[in-house]
Amino acid sequence: MSQEPGTPSTAELVAGSEVVVDAGPIAHGGFVVARHEGRVLFVRHALPGEQVRVRVTEGAAGDRFLRADAVEVLAASPDRVQPPCPYAGPGLCGGCDFQHVDVAAQRRLKATVVAEQLQRLAHLERDVVVEPVPGDTHGLRWRTRTEFAVDPAGRAGMRRHRSHALLPIDDCLIASERVVGTAVLQADWAGEKAVDVVAPSDGDAVVVRIPSDEAVAPVVTENVAAQSLSREFDVSARGFWQVHPGAAATFVDAVIAGLDPQPGERCLDLYAGVGVFASALAQAVGERGQVIAVESDSIAVAQARLNVASTPWVRYVQGRVDHVFGVESTGRVSGTRKGGRRRPGPRRPSSDIPPTADLVVLDPPRTGAGKAVVGAVVALGPRALAYVACDPAALARDTAYLLERGYALTSLRAFDAFPMTHHVECVAVFTRTGPDLP
């Protein structure tokens, strides 16, 4: 588009510059992509097809791309709404990306991102629909675990986008009523770094001061009421649990329906947490079957062993998944004699990992499982595996590795487990297309 009189030239665009741009497609991370005289801008608080005035928030002359906020909407998308939260907007809370977007349109944007990542990184064309998580109709009051930052004056609030600066708030509209009902936002937290509020399925909400020792954090009870599993789980208030109250049951049912485990089968549950998928698999395969669960966190493993005590055909292995499989870590470790840093050498696989498996569940962190772990899993020859992903780019990268190794993506479901944010959860099921391993 033509440059407005008095606006900076492309070479002069730096933090604080304002220009008018036409918003392009949605990008992974909650931005839209825009261009100004060939310069790429990642713009928050805009929608595809809009014309907006943006203020550059990060970047300097010569940078490959700039970050910007839409500070004025000149031509609005029909999907734009008034943000329900007064703290959502340019320069304000960094927690929500899509408060200015109709909820149904948010899901369409997320579907576009998942499809684009699969096409770009796995060269796979896929129609994607993002489903609401049961119990959510308006996108607000769903978050049952919320960490609030604390400023030097002892006020709790949220961090501003890409900043350590704190924004004091009176309410968080995506936090559940039970979270904000603790009055944590009105209390004086002088001397604390942050406070974590957990509203579990059973019992009162708890507040944990941070930093804290997870070993002494309270244990809370969470319920999973799924078609394939109905039971309680104990989990540390500082441990991992899905923050949307309907998410755990939704993901369990998607995994079990996709894998269709049969009595007597052997299953692996990798990045297993406190045993939700392991318990559902154990129930499906029965006592003639076997479930090996791998989890690195010692507190989660201790709780999981209690959670699965009634199904002794579940065995928990404590350790990092890559270490347990004996594949080389992509990280670096310190401690060489000369004080330098080196890559660890190859490890021996744990004797707890069987030579073959019928089914595998992978629920890795945001970075994904990675090429080495995918290769080790494929070597077991599972007939099918379910991949639970909180990052579409990581899912797409690992999908490419699986396609190269003779697996096909036979099912993909995406869920809006984090309304008002750009995050989306996917459950992908892969089945073996090549010959069986001996």
Provide Rg for the chain, Cα atoms.
23
* CATH code for the domain of 240: 3.40.50.150
DSSP 93: B
Which position has the token pair 């008002």?
420
Res 213: pLDDT: 59
- With pLDDT > 70 as the criterion, what percentage of the chain qualifies? 91
Q: Which domain holds residue 44?
A: 10-80
> Does residue 185 lie in a domain region?
no
Contacts of 219 (CB under 8 A, 6+ apart): 234, 235, 236, 237, 303
Which domain CATH number covers 64? Answer: 2.40.50.140
Interval 316-369: pLDDT, tens: 999 999 999 999 755 433 333 334 444 555 578 899 999 999 999 999 999 999
> Which of 48, 80, 112 is the endpoint of a domain?
80
Among 46, 80, 114, identify where a domain stops. Answer: 80
Confidence of residue 426 (pLDDT cuts 50, 70, 90): very high
Please indicate, yes or no, if residue 341 is contained in any of the structural domains.
yes
362-398: string of b/e by CB count within 10 Å (b at 16+)? Answer: bbbeeebbbbbbbbbbbbbbbebbbbbbbbbbbbbbb
Task: Please say if 172 is a catalytic residue.
Answer: no
Residue 421 has pLDDT above 70, yes or no: yes
Which of 22-31, 60-69, 281-290, 352-361 has the lowest average pLDDT?
Answer: 60-69
The predicted pLDDT at position 338 comes to 38
Backbone conformation region of residue 127, classed left if phi is above 0, alpha if psi is from -120 to 50, else beta? beta
154's tokens: 């002892």
Task: Judge whether 121 lies within some domain.
Answer: no
Per-residue tokens: 415 = 């869920």
Please tell me the pTM assigned to this model.
0.92
**159 domain residue, yes or no:** no
Q: Would you say 263 and 390 are in contact if contact means Cβ atoms under 8 Å apart?
A: no
pLDDT at 437: 47
pLDDT tens, 78-132?
999 999 999 999 999 999 999 999 999 999 999 999 999 999 999 999 999 999 9
Catalytic residue chosen out of the listed positions 85, 93, 267, 390: 390
- Average pLDDT value for residue range 183-210: 94
- Token duo for residue 423: 């995050």
| Beta-ladder partners of 220 | 235
CA 312-316-317 angle, to 5 degrees, is: 150
Establish if 191 belongs to a structural domain.
no
Query: What total number of domains does the chain contain?
Result: 2
Domain boundary (52, 80, 108) is at 80
Helices 392-404 and 103-122, packing angle to 10 deg: 40
Q: Within a domain: residue 264?
A: yes
Is 19 part of any domain? yes
295 contacts 318 by C-beta, under 8 angstroms = yes
- Residue at 144 is within a domain: no
The answer to whether residue 212 scores a pLDDT higher than 70 is: no
Strand arrangement of the beta sheet that strand 156-159 belongs to: 166-168, 156-159, 145-150, 194-198, 206-210
pLDDT digits (tens, 9 = 90+) for 380-397: 999 999 999 999 999 999
